[in-house]
Amino acid sequence: MEGIWNLNTLWFTLIAVLWIGYFFLEGFDFGVGILLPFIGKDDVDRRVVINSIGPVWDGNEVWLLVAGGATFAAFPEWYATLFSGFYLPLFLILIALIIRGVAFEYRSKDTRPTWRSRWDWAIFVGSFLPALLWGVGFANIVRGVPIDAAHEYAGGFWNLLNPYALIGGLASLSLFTLHGALFLSLKTHGDVEDRARGVARNLGWISLVFMITFLVWTYVGHASGEIVPGVVPIAVLALIGTVPWLVGKKFVGWAFVFTGATIALTVVNMFTALYPNVMPSSLSEAYSLTVFNASASHMTLKVMTIVAIIFTPIVLLYQGWTYWVFRKRIGRDDLAAQSH
């Protein structure tokens, strides 16, 4: 059961793909939510901002549920250690995702300004926290956490707050916000579009600084050495480094593709740095969870593979179709006709 041509490695790869899908899609949702109070100057603006992701945010969030479920199914040990070990960050993420999801649906159901401004805050906090914490969490996975011989997490909450992880968190926070600003300037017109593009221009530089720090630190400090990361980190830096220029030239579509590719390749970079570990132990290499010792049985992996092969293309087709249906830009004038 060694080498890379086995179901264990396939599922490790598929889980990476699910996280790429999640961070690509909900990444811009988070960014839009974070930018809501800054780009939305009045209620009409804010409704433009929220409606830009209205039809799709819920489907985007399902990528997380499938990533979590797939980890449970394909790597039960990984799921058990990770979720019980990263208890408080996950609790905070859950609280954030709950208030955020409810806020999208409930905000427009009452017209009182205090009602709406409270839900706006829920959307902001509910987007900001996960955007930060996912980076902190993944950086910790790559860095390695104390895992004992029984595969149990042996650290505490404070173990998770270290400089490398915080840089990871700031990298994901800035990258998702940038990604969201670009999405917003692609999906809206008028003032919101202009403001989003302005924000993207400034954020591009901030994001670049955090991404350089995070990638160099990952490469130098935390790669397992099993697979040479090669050009991936360089490609990431080239992509994200080009974004401010693209925004300046108003090539917003390309800039969005580039931040998307940056997200995807950053996940690739982290997963290649991990392999064959899924959660390296900082106590002893022998305690590390790997794609082999943390995995489900061959039978379960086989069943899951069949299900994934049949249904993933269908999901991609109809989710893609949704983006096509809602491809039109929206702006203040579209909302003007409405009373609420």
Considering only residues 93 to 122 of the shown chain, the ones binding other proteins according to CB under 8 A are 94-95, 97-99, 101-102, 104-110
Q: How far is the CB of 308 from other proteins (least distance, A)?
A: 7
Nearer to other proteins, 205 or 311 (CB): 311
Asked if 172 and 131 count as a contact pair (C-beta separation under 8 A), the reply is: yes
Residue 10 touches other proteins, criterion: CB under 8 A: no
Q: Measured from the CB of residue 213, what is the shortest distance to other proteins in angstroms?
A: 30
Tell the smallest beta-carbon distance from residue 60 to other proteins (Å): 9
Stretch 268-307 residues interacting with other proteins (CB under 8 A) = 296-297, 299-300, 303-304, 307
158 lies in the binding site for other proteins (CB under 8 A): no
* Contacts of residue 267, Cβ cutoff 8 Å, sequence gap at least 6: 16, 19, 20, 23
Which of 51, 159, 162, 282 lies at the binding interface for other proteins (CB under 8 A)?
Answer: 51
8 A C-beta contact, residue 75 and residue 296: yes
**Interface with other proteins, residue 17, by CB under 8 A:** no
Burial of 312 (0-12, 13-18, 19+ CB in 10 A): middle
Q: How far apart are CA 81 and CA 284, in angstroms?
A: 16
Q: Check if the beta carbon of residue 256 is closer than 8 Å to that of residue 179.
A: yes
Q: How far is the CB of 121 from other proteins (least distance, A)?
A: 14
Show the tokens assigned to 192.
Answer: 């919101």
CB nearer to other proteins: pick between 132 and 304: 304
Q: Is 245 or 323 the residue whose CB approaches other proteins more closely?
A: 323
Sole window of 34-42, 233-241, 252-260, 319-327 interacting with other proteins (rule: CB under 8 A): 319-327
- 333 binds other proteins per the rule CB under 8 A: no
Among the residues of 188-251, which ranges form H helices? Answer: 191-221, 232-248
Could you tell me if 161 and 193 are in contact, meaning their C-beta atoms sit under 8 angstroms apart? no
Number of other residues whose CB lies within 10 A of the CB of residue 209 = 13
**Rg for the chain, CA atoms, rounded:** 20
Cα–Cα distance measured from residue 249 to residue 282, given in angstroms and rounded to the nearest whole number: 46
Which of 1, 41, 149, 152 binds other proteins (CB under 8 A)? It is: 152
Q: By CB under 8 A, tell whether 191 contacts other proteins.
A: no
| 149 makes contact with other proteins (CB under 8 A) | no
